[in-house]
Structure 1
Amino acid sequence: MKLFKQRFFQLCILTSLGFGLLGCEGEDGLDGTNGLDGIDGQDGQDYTPPEGLFTNKSVLDPLVNISSNFSNVNAYSLISSTDYLPNGFRLVGAQDGAGLLKDGNEYIYVVNAEDDYSVSRIRFDENMRPIKGEWLLNAGVADFARQCSGTMWEAAIHGGSQDFFLSASESIAYDVKAIDPWIETPTPTADFGLDALGEFSWENAVPLPQNSFAGKTVIIGGDDDSSGSEGQVIMYLSENGDADLTNGKIYVLRLKEISDGANGVQTVTANTVYNEGSLDFGMTYDVEFVEIENGASMTKNEMETACTGVFASQFMRVEDVDYQKGSDANGRNVYFAVTGRGPGAGTYNDWGTVYKLNLDATNPLQGQLTQVVSGNTDTNNQDGNLSSLQSPDNICVTENYIYIQEDPNSFSRGHAARIYQTDLEGNNPTAVLDLKIESNLSPTGSTSLSGEFGALIDISDKVGVPDTFILNLQPHYWKSDEFISNNLPHNQGGQIVLLQGLPR
């Protein structure tokens, strides 16, 4: 029996005037599992992917170009919007945050569909072949929102007795949703909101390992905002055990030190709001987290006022958050990307920055902050280290490396979205891969650079093969009305790929 069927359509440019028709090869293959005829199968046959972990499982090749600096890395497509699984599931809606769980010999992958305000669950077999998909959340929910980055709370790592997928709501609604990845019958319009974490323009909410701060629940989040109090670094802290998501308090980061303007450090002036323009690249500054009293009961606008009221420090759109892997102590090294606002916007961060936040070993409310990557080599403080960087968004931190993923859709330096590798101090930034632009997937044949990356996560330990990662792609140029339905209202396609040989 065929494990899943593929639908693949290709736009063919017929003339220089841009007119095109849908082309096909052979008759449509007939499907015996879900009543849908195959389309464009070679010689009328449904596509059957080969066996083995490191093989393409989708008829569509990986939409990435690997850099010559990483010639030992290979990419394999797992599932694309060209594919239908046996139960009729189709991957749509711009995949962003994700998490993977092992279930016997199979895997459960939970992933946000950002532009469809949704979250899907895909089951893979032992070779990462997709065999079933369903929606755990869709746009029919009352508090629909752009579900951006997300992190799997794994009980074995983060504490408690239950796994949760923490899906961050960036706009429209402004909470973090905790979704059960093991639920037998999905309830895609249920209320999953964690009110105790407060309302921000959440980009991600990342729980730290349970023994990084034993007996405490610590979640670090990014506020992807550029208005009001602008972007905050958020902490949810509970002293009531390592898995308390209801009774903690909300804190935001505040600088205790800033640049003295001469490559030195000085103490801040009390009752003053500072932004990241007051920091020098590569310098380390003392910081603290201050409480937003009664924050759980505030609206998003009230939270903006409260952050200014406690003189929280401002960042130009805090995006993704991750922590160093390898040990409980490493988990106190938190990294976050700040996407910037673009040249000409008149702000203190044009091209984007990445920070290392080292939390005190005994008190998570104290720490030190260092800007370790910056694209601002020719603007703002003009002291950056990566002149090609454009709008860093998602971030993946392993035991030894930082992987920085770009989202150049609002402003760019003229190259497709890229992933960079640096060491843990931001040194030796090197391009890993770029998003591949396939004009045949665009309804207009466009060769524009529109696109970005979603989650990059290390799954080496789960699949038992070192240096294995899974990556989400958002080729925004890939659009089709076929992707639209009532509860999945947008028209974008996407792809999930497996990376073999990426150093961890």
Structure 2
Amino acid sequence: MKTISKILALTGLITFMSCDSDDNSTENISGTNNSVIELKNHSITPAFVTKQTEFNNIEVYTILSSEDALTESPNFVYGSMADGCGLLRNNDGTFTLINNIEADYSIARITLDATFKPVKGEYILNSDATGNTAQCSGSLATPEEHGYGPVYFSGGEWGAMPTNNVFMVDPYKATSDASVAEVLPAMGQWTIENAVPLSKNAFEGKTIVMIGDDSRGDAGGQLAMYMSNTVGDLHNGNLYGMKVGDGTITDNDLITGTEYAVEFVQLNQTTYNELNTESIAKKVMAFNRVEDIDYRKGTAAANREIYFNATGHSSNSDTRTKYGRTYKLVLDENNPLTGKLTLVLNGDDLAGKAKTFHSPDNILVTENYAYIQEDPNGYVDDMVKQHDAYLYQYNLNNGELKVVLESAHRTTQAVDNGYASFDDRWGKWELTGMIDISDVIGEPDTFLLIQQAHSWKSDAFLNPDGAGTDANSNSEGSILLVVKGLAR
């Protein structure tokens, strides 16, 4: 399939419409103009996306996929359901990508050369270390942006219980220690999608990490906060859950565009069942699967403006979103435990601007835009939901919502070459893991975006981290894209 794919990619027949190195010499360098960067296709796998007309000028490149063999580590396999990631620029001009491999319960480190070509891959946290817990979205904290680090936060979501913690990973971690994990108990055990540290400018002298609970049980998916009054303290702070109004307001009571007063109430428990029980007792808001979180870039005031998605689910649809929603939370500048919550995009309003929402999942927020990525749950009850995963651009200044591109893997060429099936139940791929890399690589308006190729399967993708057994692994492929030309 590699040879056929390469030929098709080079001839344009495939549809293209539109994260053992133990060197501690890595740092995050912003605003560097690196003239040797050459953004182009490095993978033999095509980019299966369709660009919308207004975004025809953006450039999309495939730089790594599960079927690629990297020159310095030809046995490395880019595993199943690649997800959250963070990028660092090294002192020698190369780059280090830390990348969650969700369905293999592991985290990979990928080295890219000075031109931004992936050349080496290795696993720095394996499934033995995580106890077979899925590593979903992740966030990189750096001294420049957060006042401590670099350290990578990974959300332990589904799989073995009760190991769904916030995992803390040193980007320079030796591969010989891949079976050793460090978790952050003070941040609690949730069904964790992501743990997102706020900028050091948001609240001077504090460490604040926002945590998304991707759950739909009685307690719902909650938005949690860890806070310490010491910069870089990830162990001794307090845990809080967000309560809306007097606590009797449900998700479906929220009116789009209306502000609601919120407070973060302290939670004394940290283990999974006990946290859920305490959250119910203290009237923490029950959303329907809180997914990714991000804050607006720019000024300190902007950094206190937080956006998050609830992906929704068909159960609990009487009191919580089914199709998915995006929320805006503005924390009070004098007290991070209070703020205002606004429902800004409502996928359940079939006459509203977000009527096409089909399970919004990951989110990236820049100075002026939120980029929302979908993981479709496969709803077939309304025609406006009948599309593959969208990447949306939401204008934070005027509220305009646009579709940038759509996952487009069901072409004849894709099916013929084993990437997809027209009738596969996992036919809807996921767009995920988007991060802004513009400042790190010195190329304006440049992003990474990942496709979880749910219908592309091969035994060659099994057990890539070398730990556990094939039974603890997945056979799906992953595709890493560079997107250039999107406004920030």
Work out whether 1:340 is the aligned partner of 2:312: yes
Work out whether 1:288 is the aligned partner of 2:263: yes
Residue of structure 1 in register with 2:252 after alignment: 277
For these two proteins, the number of residue pairs brought into alignment is 436
Which whole-Å CA distance do the structure 1 matches of 2:421 and 2:324 have between them?
30
Which whole-Å CA distance do the structure 2 matches of 1:202 and 1:423 have between them?
27
Aligned counterparts, 1:424-439, within 5 A: 424=396, 427-437=399-409, 438-439=414-415
Residue of structure 1 in register with 2:170 after alignment: 180
What is the TM-score with the length of structure 2 in the denominator?
A: 0.85
Displacement of 1:103 in angstroms is: 0.5
Residue of structure 2 in register with 1:490 after alignment: 474
Work out whether 1:397 is the aligned partner of 2:373: no
**Counterpart code for 2:407:** L
Which whole-Å CA distance do the structure 2 matches of 1:455 and 1:322 have between them?
12
* 465, 472, 482: which one aligns with 2:443: 465
More helix by share: 2
Displacement of 1:355 in angstroms is: 0.5
SS at match of 2:275: helix
Which whole-Å CA distance do the structure 2 matches of 1:343 and 1:493 have between them?
29
Which whole-Å CA distance do the structure 2 matches of 1:300 and 1:309 have between them?
15
1:75-117 Cα offsets, whole Å, 9 max, x none, are 0011011101131212121111111011121111011111111
Distance 1:243 1:444, change over 3 A: closer
Residue of structure 2 in register with 1:300 after alignment: 272
Displacement of 1:386 in angstroms is: 1.4
Distance 1:75 1:315, change over 3 A: same
Residue of structure 2 in register with 1:131 after alignment: 119
Distance 1:310 1:126, change over 3 A: same
**Counterpart code for 1:207:** P
1:402-451 Cα offsets, whole Å, 9 max, x none, are 11111103536221101111111672211101112132454774455421
Residue of structure 1 in register with 2:219 after alignment: 229
Unmatched tracts of structure 1, length 5 or more: 1-6, 12-50, 257-267
1:204-250 Cα offsets, whole Å, 9 max, x none, are 100001121111110011100000301100000011x2110000000
Q: Name the larger-Rg structure.
A: 1
Unmatched tracts of structure 2, length 5 or more: 6-35
Q: Percent identity, please.
A: 36
Work out whether 1:100 is the aligned partner of 2:87: yes
Distance 1:425 1:308, change over 3 A: farther
Distance 1:277 1:461, change over 3 A: same
Residues 405 and 420, structure 1, Cα contact 8 Å, conserved in 2 = yes
* 124, 139, 142: which one aligns with 1:154: 142
**Counterpart code for 2:156:** S
Distance 1:433 1:444, change over 3 A: closer
Q: Which of 1 and 2 has higher RCO (CA within 8 Å, sep 6+)?
A: 2
Residue of structure 2 in register with 1:91 after alignment: 78
Distance 1:244 1:157, change over 3 A: same
SS at match of 2:339: strand
Which whole-Å CA distance do the structure 2 matches of 1:447 and 1:100 have between them?
36
Which whole-Å CA distance do the structure 1 matches of 2:262 and 2:317 have between them?
27
Aligned counterparts, 1:229-378, within 5 A: 229-239=219-229, 241-256=230-245, 268=246, 272-293=247-268, 295-296=269-270, 299-342=271-314, 345-378=317-350
Which whole-Å CA distance do the structure 1 matches of 2:258 and 2:219 have between them?
24
Displacement of 1:375 in angstroms is: 1.0
Which whole-Å CA distance do the structure 2 matches of 1:200 and 1:166 have between them?
14
1:173-209 Cα offsets, whole Å, 9 max, x none, are 2201000002244422112211110111111100001
Distance 1:365 1:126, change over 3 A: same
SS at match of 1:482: helix
Residue of structure 2 in register with 1:74 after alignment: 59
Displacement of 1:157 in angstroms is: 1.0
Displacement of 1:491 in angstroms is: 0.3
